[in-house]
Amino acid sequence: MARASVVIVGGGIAGLAAAWELTGGAHGPNEQTPRVELIEAGDHLGGALVTTEFAGRTIDLGADGFLARRPEGVALVKELGWEDRLEAINVSGSSIWLRGALYELPTGLVLGMPTSASVLKSLKGLSWRAKLAARRDEWFPRRMVVGDDATIGDIVRTKLGSELSYQFIEPMIGGIQAGRIDDLSAKSVFPALLEAARKGGSLMKAIRPKGPVNPGPAAPTTSAGPLFYSLLDGMGSLPIELARQLSERGVVIRTGVSVTALRRTPSGTYPWEVDTSTTTTPADAIVVATPASVAGRLLGDYDSAFTPLRDIPCAGAAMVTFDLSRTEIELPTNGTGVLVPLGTKWSGEGSMLITAITFLDRKWPRLARENDTVLRAHVGRIDDARWTELSDEELTARVTNELKVLLPKFGTVTASRVQRWPQGLPQYYVGHDILIEAAKGAATRLHVALAGMVYDGVGVPASVGSGRRAAREVLDFVKS
């Protein structure tokens, strides 16, 4: 009997995780392991998981860590034998810019949602009206009828009012997806919030967790240990090690090669052929781990359920990283960064571009140095692409001027670097779950599995889990 053949289209972390699962996961290959070929259009693997050298450090240019309480990321690292390279986050907490000043975020939040009026009592940056709205929710909650889904904005604005929604909650919840709470689906992004709203009564009381709460589709959680992890050589080291071990397992990995077509060959030995400009690879099944728009293009002719994938919007973003002498900057006493509400006015032109600041060397111990500090400013949301109109030099200058307002003392910069991600995070709008369920169903009928951030949640653990789920589906296909 011929050995089964599986082709993975897309070499981001989801595609790599699919290859790992297809080749036996923690146990490794055996006599039933299919031939696996992974084809990536870009010149490197891992997508946004990539590192560079900056100011005498190895820093990440994309995600710099991952949620530890979703188990998929930690499990993969351990299976690679890299448990000793996990680095726990050094400190917790953040500040928020409100009414022209920085205030430390209180504890007792669930993904940015306050769980009681007392949580907000000491936060001077909120008006008495916002605090009264929180108190009203506890004692005289507004009625709301919630159906199968609603936007996050509909829920929190109805229950807690506009100020808490847009000045306090959106910087955290919206920041996870680089989206707007008025567009994002509660069912797909924050299912615990939807369930809390359905209970009626006080939203804050209903959202109080009985255990860890994660964004995105439901997933098992762990409660012990740190909230976030990174890796000692940066998150960009993960796809490199995965690729190395996958090559040892016999996986064929091709980069800089675009798939031009997925062709059905019902009369051939294999039901699929995967075309590039120079090759054709036969396959029993395919994992498509590309951006949704590419998946829609490659599969759209086979079923109309794939067509909407082409139009799922993605939020681009950029990051500007700075190095300064410690004598040239004064940071908030506590926390790993600062959140900035959208539309924040300042003395310059228009509203601020910056949506958040991360103190990288305070967040991750490996980046700490005695004499200098490294921080990163984040810009861009789904409806704010002003950064795309600026050159690197113009963007750096604009962000520098905003930082001088947001931080009490921001002096001479020693080094800076701009990183742009034009196609960043997919947006989960109301109806996203229905669209994705239809696409997955159509894929199953074709012996294709879909993987990536658009299907099972954003972030490294969700992407790893998505890839491994797709691989398990494919293994069922080739066994049938």
Torsion of the alpha carbons at 460, 55, 378 and 332, rounded to the nearest 10: 100
Strands (E), 277-369: 280-283, 285-288, 314-325, 329-330, 337-339, 354-359
- What is the Cα–Cα distance from 110 to 227, expressed in whole angstroms? 13
Buried b (16+ CB within 10 A) or exposed e, 173-203: bbbbbbbbbbbbbbbbbbbbbbebbbeeebb
Could you tell me which CATH number the domain at 314-426 has? 3.90.660.20
208's tokens: 């109080």
How many helices (DSSP H) and strands (DSSP E) are in the chain? 17, 24
Check if the beta carbon of residue 146 is closer than 8 Å to that of residue 194.
yes
DSSP state of 306: G
* φ, ψ dihedrals at 436, nearest 5°: -70, -40
Beta-strand pair 272-276/259-264: antiparallel
Could you tell me which CATH number the domain at 105-207 has? 1.10.3110.10
DSSP state of 326: G
Measured on CA atoms in the order 447, 450, 455, 459, is the torsion positive or negative?
A: positive
pTM here?
Answer: 0.93
Sheet holding 259-264, edge to edge: 259-264, 272-276, 280-283
Domain residue ranges of the chain, discontinuous segments joined by +: 5-48+232-312+428-479, 105-207, 314-426
Torsion of the alpha carbons at 158, 161, 162 and 166, rounded to the nearest 10: -90
Q: Is the fold of 105-207 the same as that of 314-426?
A: no
* φ, ψ dihedrals at 148, nearest 5°: -65, -30
pLDDT of residue 216: 52
Tens-binned pLDDT, residue by residue, of the chain (480 aa): 578 999 999 999 999 999 999 999 999 999 999 999 999 999 999 999 999 999 999 999 999 999 998 999 999 999 999 999 999 998 888 999 999 999 999 988 888 899 999 999 889 999 999 999 999 999 999 999 999 999 999 999 999 999 999 999 999 988 888 899 999 999 999 999 999 999 999 999 999 876 544 455 555 444 557 889 999 999 999 999 999 999 999 999 999 999 999 999 977 789 999 999 999 999 999 999 999 999 999 999 999 999 999 999 999 999 999 999 999 999 999 999 999 999 999 988 899 999 999 999 999 999 999 999 999 999 999 999 999 999 999 999 999 999 999 998 999 999 999 999 998 899 999 999 999 999 999 999 999 999 999 999 999 999 999 999 999 999 999 887
DSSP state of 138: H
CATH topology of domain 5-48+232-312+428-479: FAD/NAD(P)-binding domain (3.50.50)
Short-list 363, 347, 352, CA closest to 399 = 352
pLDDT of residue 208: 86
